[in-house]
Structures are given as structure tokens and as C-alpha cells.
Amino acid sequence: MPTIETRRLNPFAMAGITLAVVAVAFLAIRSFTRDRVEVRASTVTHQNLLSTVSTNGRIEPIEPFQAHAQVPGVVEKIYAQVGQKVNKGDLLIKMEDADARSRLATANSSLKSAQAVAQDMQQGGSQEERIALAGDLSRAQQQQQQAEKDLAALRALQQKGAASASEVTAAEQRLQAANLTLHGVQQRQTQRYGATDRSKVQAQVTDAQAAVAAAQNTYSNANIRAPFSGTVYSLPVTAYDYVAGGQSLLDLADLNKIRVRAYFDEPEIGKLAVGQAVKITWDARPNETWHGHISQVPSTVIAYGTRNVGECMITIDDAKGDLLPNTNVIVTVTTSQRFNVLTVPREALHTEGVNDFVYRIVQDKLVRTPVQVGVLNLTRVEILSGLTEKDTVALNATSNRDLSNGLDVKIVE
């Protein structure tokens, strides 16, 4: 039986052959992949697209009440504390009111004096003056009547030759003087005060009434009462403190009726409109969110620190007394809403001059595709034309390679 002799290859030859095969395979793989750039990609999808603007703001009551000391004085007693809910009419702070009582008493005294003068004027003078005037009138009437009798008697005697003409003339002069005296007393009784006198006295009465009203207001405000139901959120004084006139004593508000004074940078003002929905967050309660709407858009631009901003008023719709006045919050305004629109990530959009385009991935190659865009936000942009929902677009290369039309690419996560 013939014998088949098997020749073993030299080990060195085997190693050479193996290295050659590996080298060929490496070169083949490299040749196949060397021009394919790894890129991140995204499919074109329909989404609801919201555009928002965020900024900072401060909580403030819509109808705040701040009590002030009407005059300098001492806080006698405090009936409320910070955070306490009070009802309309509740006594909150009592001031020592000795000075207020003194002012009110002085004002009332001045008013009574002015009113007494006005009443005397209407009656022709005080009672003493009227009594004296009545006596003067009675004497003047008696003197006039006596002068008439004397003149009549002398005229009768003159007809009998028992009285001279000069005696009659003297009697006539005495009657004339008596008539003048009587007329003067009668004028004093009926026309003692003129229009100027009456205007002056009426002005004094009016001034006195105003002084009483002011003193009464000061006296009433010495005891601070709640003008409406709400929550005391600031109380900067304590019992027995001395306070200056005009100093703040207490702040009260209905914390269910609050708003945000928000500060938007100048370029963002044009996006705002009354009625736009707003989300409010507060760092002190990171798990809670409040909602509201713009009630007043900025009417001017002001300096706010290093920023030029517009003040915007935002009414909070679901406040429940859990947001405190003067706290700083973040507001996010929804400036536009688009529902079920075709969108791509914003980083997929490229702009050259006035032309917008994306790179579609077609059979592992980039195809530059012009698109028409609509609204956009920080992450996505609306595509009005140029793409369909089945398209895939390139976002960027994982290396430093720039994307270009016709580039071979490989999609990676």
C-alpha cells in the first residue's frame, strides 16, 4: 500500500502567511471605511413646538396696604404678628394718642369759636351787643319823639306871639338831629355787617372745619385697623418703639391676589403680549409651580443694574397664599405654540446668507437640502417645506470634520 508523505510547512512560513492575510484584511477594511465620517443624526418628527422666554421677577401684592404713623409717637400695643390672617376692621396696632387727642380738642375749639362768630353775625351781633343796640335805639326813639313834641309846642306858641322864630328854628334843628341819630341806630341794627365781613367769617369756619377733619383723621389713624381681610406680611416695629411721623408700621395684603413684576431684556420685549401664559417657579419651593398670564406689557425701557429691561406685570392665577411678597421668582412666558408640526433639532439647521438648509442622509451620503423654517425655540425648529417625516438629517460630526454635500458618513449614537 503506497504511503502518502505529508510535508509540514516551516513555522516561519506559516507566520508570514498569517501576517499577510491580516494585512490584506486590514487594508481592505480601511479602504472600505476610510472616507466615511461618523455623524450624529436625528429623524424628522412631528411635535408640539413651544417658544418661551424666561427671566427673573419679584412678587408683589395687587392691592397692598401699608400703615404709617400719622404723627411722631410711641407704639402702645400690637395685636397682630407676621403671617397672621386678619379680618376687615380688626385692630392691628394702637398708638399712644394723647397728642392726637390734644390736636383734635384744639381744632374743635377753634371751629366752635368760628361758628359762634358766624352765628352772631347772622343775628346782628352777640347778645351783649344786641342788648346795647336795643338800648341805643330806645333812647334815640324817645329823643326823636320829644323833639317832635317840643317843635309842635313852639309852633303853637309862635302863632300866639309867645315864641320867636329863632326858637322854632332851634327846635327844628334838634328834631333833625334826633332823626339822624335814630336812622343811624336803625342802620347799625340791620346793616351792621357787609359782604366782606361775611366772607371773612365763612372762610374762618371752613378752615376750622378742615382742621377738625385732619385732626379727626390723625386721631382715628392712631389705632390701625385692617381695611380688608388679608395677611400681615411685614411688621417692622415692636411695642413701645418710638416712631417718627410717616414711618412704616405694618404691611397687609390679600396673598390670593398677587402678581409678579418681571424684568425682560430689551430684545425680548417685542415677543410679549397681554394674555400669554406664564409659568412661575420659586427656588424656596423647587417642586412647586404656579401659573399666570401677562396683564401688562412693558411701556418703556429702564436701567436695571447692568441690564436694559422692560417691566412686565404678570397676574398669578392659582395663588393660594403660599407665595410671599418681595420674594424673587423665575417666570417663563410661552410666546408661541405650534401643535403637531414637522420639526428637527436646532443644531441640524444651517444658514448661509439668507438661505436655510440641512444635510439629509441618503444612502450614507450627505445631501444638502434647502428648507423653509417657521418658529423655533432653544432646541427645535419648525420645518415648513423641504423635508418629510421619513427623512433623517445630520446633526454634527463626532470629529472635527465639517459637514459638506456628498460626504460619506456613518451614523452613530
63 φ, ψ (degrees, to nearest 5): -130, 80
Which of 342, 398, 379 has the alpha carbon at shortest distance from 46? 342
> Does residue 215 sit within a domain?
no
What's the pLDDT tens digit per position in 226-269?
999 999 999 999 999 999 988 999 999 999 999 999 999 999 99
Q: What is the CATH number of the domain that holds 398?
A: 2.40.420.20
313 pLDDT exceeds 90?
Answer: yes
Domain-terminating residue out of 322, 338, 354? 338
Tell me, yes or no, whether 370 and 323 share the same domain: no
| Burial degree of 100 (CB within 10 A; 0-12, 13-18, 19+) | buried
334 and 260 fall within a common domain = yes
In a domain, 213, yes or no: no
Domain count of the fold of the chain: 4
- pLDDT digit string, tens, across residues 195-221: 787 788 888 888 888 888 887 777 766
Residue 330 lies in a domain: yes
pTM for this predicted structure? 0.56
**Domain end residue (candidates: 175, 192, 209):** 192
Q: What is the DSSP string of 113-170?
A: HHHHHHHHHHTTS-HHHHHHHHHHHHHHHHHHHHHHHHHHHHHHHHHTTSS-HHHHHH
Q: Which helix (H) or strand (E) holds 230?
A: strand 230-234
pLDDT by residue (tens digit) across 345-391? 999 999 999 999 999 999 999 999 999 999 888 899 999 999 999 89
- Assess if residue 392 is contained within a domain: yes
Assign residue 287 the CATH number of its domain: 2.40.30.170
Phi-psi map region of 98: left, alpha, beta (phi>0 left; psi -120 to 50 alpha): alpha
pLDDT greater at residue 267 or residue 154? 267
Give CA–CA dist 236/244, Å, rounded.
13
The candidate with the shortest Cα–Cα distance to 375, out of 42, 51, 47, is: 51
Closest residue by Cα to residue 315 from 336, 297, 337, 328? 297
To the nearest whole percent, how much of the chain has pLDDT over 70? 88
Answer yes or no: do 388 and 316 share one domain. Answer: no
Q: Which domain holds residue 89?
A: 65-96+222-252
**Highest mean pLDDT out of 146-150, 152-156, 315-319:** 315-319
Distance from the Cα of residue 37 to its chain's centroid: 58
User: What residue has cell string 317832635?
Assistant: 148
75 vs 23 pLDDT, higher one: 75
User: Is residue 345 within 8 Å of 308, Cβ to Cβ?
Assistant: no
Cβ–Cβ < 8 Å for 314, 290 = no
Closest by CA to 40, choosing from 272, 359, 308, is 359
296 domain residue, yes or no:
yes
- In angstroms, rounded to a whole number, what is the distance separating the alpha carbons of residues 393 and 401? 16
Last residue of a domain, one of 252, 269, 297: 252
Is residue 394 a part of any domain in this protein? yes
The C-alpha cell of 118 is what? 358766624
Same domain, 258 and 333: yes
